[in-house]
Amino acid sequence: MKRVVVGGLAAAGVVGAGIWLKRQAVRETLFASEPDSQVPLVIPGRVAVERLFGGGDARTKVPLVLVLHGVGADETQLAPYVLSNRPMRLVFLRGGLASGNGFQWFRARYKDNAAAFITDVSRTASEIVTVLDQIATQRLYTERIVVGYSQGAHIAWWLATSGRVDRVVAMSGALPASFKPPRPTRQVRIEAAHGLRDPVIPYSAGQATARAFQGAGYPVRLTTLRLAGHGLSSMGAALAPALEGALSNGAVGLATKSSSLGAR
């Protein structure tokens, strides 16, 4: 894996009011009512919000990007962090289980029993594949991309092994060391990002997962944020570049990228 260091310091631990307001405005704009000309996307039993960047309608063939939030959040969580100038179809999906004031995808936690955790991730990943298939019956696309943060990233890592997605963006997630990725049946490009100071999912776990996938033959690029923890206040800025990397047609190679981008 290639290692690159990107400089840049920010006010540690402080999210300015201006940044917060900007992100709120982006979230409200993205989740405003869709024009009447848009044929509604229907996913039975699920809450999903679809947004098409670059113009078009249900017949427009662009990359399909499915976005999976973290524990205690909902489908709006990652909206301010995935903006791009590239044409793409974003589908923000809500987890099916309640968690505090938000939602989650499954109940097991990374630091719980590894076998139980893997079982939950595997089952949920299968459900997400079904969602992707349901979208495919209603929308045209050029490729399938899954973006996940925290618990959503655990699922994204697993989906890279499914043979059903083309690219994966996994931020602040990992799979247990006991999970051994199978050899890929198709080339799946993986963009991962992890905070070096992450107290929830240790950086070492994310790095080990990236190395395991690399060793199994997956093209992986891991961005290490040296000043970041687990939260989006420090990790969020890494998501758009990771998605841009996934959307790029250039070769990923087997790479590790380090960044000193931190809390902002």
* pTM of structure: 0.85
Q: Looking at the predicted structure, is the pLDDT value of residue 209 above 90?
A: yes
Q: Is residue 256 very low, low, confident or very high in pLDDT (cuts 50, 70, 90)?
A: low
Could you read off the pLDDT of 211-224 as tens digits, one per residue? 999 999 999 999 99
Task: Give the residue-averaged pLDDT of 42-67.
Answer: 92
pLDDT for position 253: 46
Element (H, E) at 169: strand 167-171
* Token reading at 105: 């995808």
Q: Looking at the predicted structure, is the pLDDT value of residue 107 above 80?
A: yes
Using the Cα atoms of residue 184, residue 114, residue 243 and residue 194 in order, give the sign of their dihedral: negative
- The CATH number linked to 187 is 3.40.50.1820
Using only C-alpha atoms, what is the Rg of the chain? Answer: 17
Residue 239 lies in a domain: yes
**Domain that includes residue 202, residue range:** 5-28+43-262
Using the Cα atoms of residue 53, residue 54, residue 58 and residue 59 in order, give the sign of their dihedral: negative
Between 122 and 34, where is the model more confident?
A: 122
Residue 36 lies in a domain: no
pLDDT for position 254: 44
**% pLDDT > 70, the chain:** 80
Q: Is residue 36 very low, low, confident or very high in pLDDT (cuts 50, 70, 90)?
A: very low
In three-state secondary structure terms, 123 is helix
Residue 38 lies in a domain: no
Q: Looking at the predicted structure, is the pLDDT value of residue 153 above 60?
A: yes
Residue 35 lies in a domain: no
Highest-pLDDT range among 60-64, 191-195, 258-262: 191-195
Length of the chain: 264
CB 221 within 8 Å of CB 255: yes
pLDDT for position 4: 34
**How many domains is the chain built from?**
1
pLDDT for position 227: 96
Q: Find the range with the poorest average confidence among 23-32, 51-60, 62-71, 187-196.
A: 23-32
**% pLDDT > 90, the chain:** 73
Q: Looking at the predicted structure, is the pLDDT value of residue 178 above 70?
A: yes
Q: Is residue 83 very low, low, confident or very high in pLDDT (cuts 50, 70, 90)?
A: confident
CA separation for the pair 209, 34 (Å, rounded): 38
pLDDT for position 43: 96
CA separation for the pair 89, 136 (Å, rounded): 12
DSSP 40: P
Residue 34 lies in a domain: no
DSSP-derived secondary structure for 78-107:
TGGG---SS-EEEEEE--SEEETTEEES-S
Using the Cα atoms of residue 135, residue 140, residue 145 and residue 149 in order, give the sign of their dihedral: negative
Q: Is residue 54 very low, low, confident or very high in pLDDT (cuts 50, 70, 90)?
A: confident
Residue 142 lies in a domain: yes
CB 141 within 8 Å of CB 167: no
CA separation for the pair 101, 176 (Å, rounded): 28
Residue 143 lies in a domain: yes
